[in-house]
Amino acid sequence: MPRPVIGITCYVEPAAFTVWRMPAALLPYTYVEHVVRAGGQPVILPPAGDPAPLVERLDGLIVAGGGDVDPGRYGEQPHHQTGYVRKFRDEAEFELVGAALEAELPFLGICRGLQVLNVSLGGSLHQHLPDVVGHSGHSPAPGEFGHLPVRLAPGSAIAGVLGAEEAAAAHYHHQATDRLGEGLAVSATSDDGTVEAVELAGHPFTLGVQWHPEAGQEGHLFEALVAAASAGRSW
């Protein structure tokens, strides 16, 4: 049977490749590898044109990591540490997430993807997590993952997917959920109380994780997304 089609949002940033240096639509290839290993067909979705109607052609959606969400979307002024805001990406992804939720499309938000989901549903963000938790372990240095365990809520969907009460996680985020969006439930936290995963009740599969599962070898979250996409597809 055909692989279910999994859309993955991407960055638009200056990039160097072969002899060129120019703006590029790009994505860490580990996202692609995980979706393929899980049995899905990845399709990269740049933040251009009108991506929301593509929901009708997708079987699942991943909103990938990236820069900070514009704080104006949750009624705040930017913190001095808020950065890499790309308003064109916000516009595309918020419309895409809204369409995906309305269609009950299987959804996985990763890092920024969780934050887009939360703000889409009326939530807000801590703009600079070290101000809240008193340490920089969630993002220890540029280009360096923090490795903090996360505790999974018993009975939550993510605990069922990972088959554990605690999981190792690769963190690279200086922001996190503050006010929780409507309908979301917290399904994982770190020891300092940071929200590390959320899920949406009443939807077949809508999960957001604040860490970076694409950075590891274990692919349970991608496998669960592809399984949900396969189950919901009209072949």
Beta carbons within 10 angstroms of residue 137's beta carbon = 17
Helix or strand holding residue 85 (H, E): none
What is residue 1's predicted lDDT score, i.e. its pLDDT?
Answer: 82
Buried b (16+ CB within 10 A) or exposed e, 65-93: bbebbbbebbeeeebeebeeebeebbebb
* CATH number of residue 146's parent domain: 3.40.50.880
User: Is 111 labeled as catalytic in the residue annotation?
Assistant: yes
What is residue 233's predicted lDDT score, i.e. its pLDDT?
Answer: 64
User: Is 13 labeled as catalytic in the residue annotation?
Assistant: no
What is residue 219's predicted lDDT score, i.e. its pLDDT?
Answer: 96
The answer to whether residues 150 and 189 touch, using CB atoms and an 8 Å cutoff, is: yes
The answer to whether residues 60 and 40 touch, using CB atoms and an 8 Å cutoff, is: yes
CA distance 61 to 6: 5
User: Is 10 labeled as catalytic in the residue annotation?
Assistant: no
Q: Which residue type sits at 14? A: P
Domain that holds residue 129: 5-232
67: left (phi over 0), alpha (psi -120 to 50) or beta: beta
What is residue 235's predicted lDDT score, i.e. its pLDDT?
Answer: 40
Instruction: With a cut of 70, list the residues of the chain below it in pLDDT.
Output: 233-235
Q: Which of 93, 196, 199, 214 is catalytic?
A: 214
Q: Which of 34, 111, 171, 196 is catalytic?
A: 111
What is residue 232's predicted lDDT score, i.e. its pLDDT?
Answer: 79
Q: Report yes or no on whether pTM surpasses 0.75.
A: yes
Tens-digit pLDDT profile for residues 14-48: 999 999 999 999 999 999 999 999 999 999 999 99
Residue 9 structure tokens: 């949002």
For residue 16, report the phi and psi dihedrals to the nearest 5 degrees.
Answer: -115, 130
Number of domains in the chain: 1
Residue 198 structure tokens: 């959320």
The answer to whether residues 195 and 177 touch, using CB atoms and an 8 Å cutoff, is: yes
